[in-house]
Amino acid sequence: MHAIRWGGTGRHGRPAKAGDYMFRVRTRHGANASRSRTRGGDRSFALYPAKFPVRARHSYGDGYGAPRAGHVHQGQDILAPCGKRVVAARGGRIQYRAYQAAGAGYYLVVDGKGTGHDYVYMHLRRHGRAKRGQHVRTGQRIGTVGETGDASGCHLHFEMWTKPGWYEGGRAMPSVTRHLRAWDRWS
């Protein structure tokens, strides 16, 4: 048995674009040995930079800029049943993990390694097993949908922040909904 490893880069060392890929195996002399198909299966795979954070049937609620008492909404609400799985949209380090009764409820902030963004998950049912300082992978479970804090109904409030990060001088990104809809299409 042979193993194939790939670091996710293209011919010139740049990160590969999102999309579908298939390995093509070559012999030592450079001729195509196969299209990597074995016993009816193939060796195709998809490479995408992020994962949609709610792993259940969902709909979209209030988005960025919706009016709130004394401020505007800085994220996108994803409506889903309480208790459904929430995963890290991008891998990174858990920077904050706290509870805010009058606002976010149970929440986590993931410092997205190499992305220049922080990812914020609010109104979680509880913290789950994710601990501050822990590194999480894209798609790793970090909590469940809840309605904690100042939430009306079960949902995940999701924010993306620019450098240097969440409440470190960065700003909430109005494009959060566009990113989520793209991730929703492929995951």
Into how many domains does the chain fold? 2
User: For residue 54, is it within any domain?
Assistant: no
Cβ partners under 8 Å of residue 10, min gap 6: 16, 17
**Residue 180, H or E segment:** helix 176-186
Nearest CA to 143 out of 103, 93, 83 is that of: 83
Same-domain pairing of 28 and 64? no
**Within 13 Å of residue 64, how many CA atoms lie on the same side as its CB?**
16
pLDDT mean across residues, the chain: 84
pTM, 2 dp: 0.79
Same-domain pairing of 174 and 125? yes
Q: What is the pLDDT of residue 33?
A: 46
- The boundaries of the domain holding residue 92 are 59-186
Average pLDDT over every residue of 178-184: 93
Same-domain pairing of 64 and 149? yes
Same-domain pairing of 14 and 104? no
What are the backbone angles phi and psi of residue 180, rounded to the nearest 5°?
Answer: -60, -45
Q: What is the pLDDT of residue 4?
A: 64
Q: Is the pLDDT of residue 48 over 60?
A: yes
Provide, for the chain, the percentages of residues in helix, strand and coil under a 3-state DSSP scheme, each rounded to the nearest 5.
Answer: 5, 40, 55
Q: What value, to the nearest 5°, has the Cα angle with vertex 131 and ends 159 and 174?
A: 5
Q: What is the pLDDT of residue 90?
A: 93
pLDDT band at 65 (very low <50, low <70, confident <90, very high): confident
Same-domain pairing of 7 and 71? no
